[in-house]
Amino acid sequence: MSDYITFALPKGRILQDSMELFAKIGITCPEMEGSSRKLVFENRESKFRFMAVRATDVPTYVEYGCADIGVVGKDTLLEQGKDLYEPLDLKFGYCRLAVAEPVALRQQDDPASWSNIRVATKYPNITERFFAAKGIQVELIKLYGSIELAPLVGLSERIVDLVSTGATLRENGMVEVETIAEITSRLIVNRASLKTKHQRITAILEGLEKVIGDEVRISN
């Protein structure tokens, strides 16, 4: 099946948004339209394969060539630092990667005075680089979920996490202090696939680039 183009897509909303975008350039998979627990879907007529995987695993499948193309948040790419080609910002899945702390602490706190802090996060690599660039020593606590809980129970005073509307922070008595990066979904490509399947992949990239460009112009 080396003539197939294989996509690695994160389960959930990003998968839906990705397939809606792909459909605009004729990439579809009727097999995915029903409810199914399958993880691999195929459009045999067009020779496309789609893998539904965890978002954090998408870069690994693409880097090792199990998938030719993937869609993943910029936060995951910044954290993992995989050797991938990242040609397109898909302009959906927007959020911010931010430093946050309890409102009560913020009222008397000045980030410019930080020298040694403790931070809970799912993103230790990004967090360490961010604070190192500011000359701030940081003790990192890696968590995998419910990051906002850490300050509530005294595990850390501050967190680094994704923020969309800010509602979760507000509900837990926290406030954003600094934005580390603005995050959107990105298209990534395996470097070897770009050479061995150059014609098909280039056509996909050019088609998506045109669609995204047209949508940006319309929205402006």
Pick from 76, 62, 55, 74: which is nearest to 12 by CA? 55
Pick from 54, 58, 31: which is nearest to 42 by CA? 31
Ordered alpha helix ranges (H), the chain: 13-23, 58-63, 74-80, 103-106, 124-133, 149-152, 167-171, 191-196, 198-219
Residue with tokens 């080609």: 85
Query: Could you give the CA distance from residue 83 to residue 205 in angstroms, rounded to a whole number?
Result: 19
pLDDT of residue 1: 54
pLDDT of residue 86: 97
pLDDT of residue 2: 73
The pLDDT tens digits along the chain (220 residues) read 578 999 999 999 999 999 999 999 999 998 887 777 789 999 999 999 999 999 999 999 999 999 999 999 999 999 999 999 999 999 999 999 999 999 988 877 777 777 889 999 999 999 999 999 999 999 999 999 899 999 999 999 999 999 999 999 999 999 999 999 999 999 999 999 999 999 999 999 999 999 999 887 887 7
pLDDT of residue 115: 81
Q: Which residues contact 104 (CB under 8 A, 6 or more apart)?
A: 173
pLDDT of residue 87: 97
Flag whether the pTM goes above 0.85.
yes
Domains of the chain and CATH, by start: 5-93+184-219 (3.40.190.10), 95-181 (3.40.190.10)
Q: How many angstroms separate the first and last alpha carbons of the chain?
A: 42
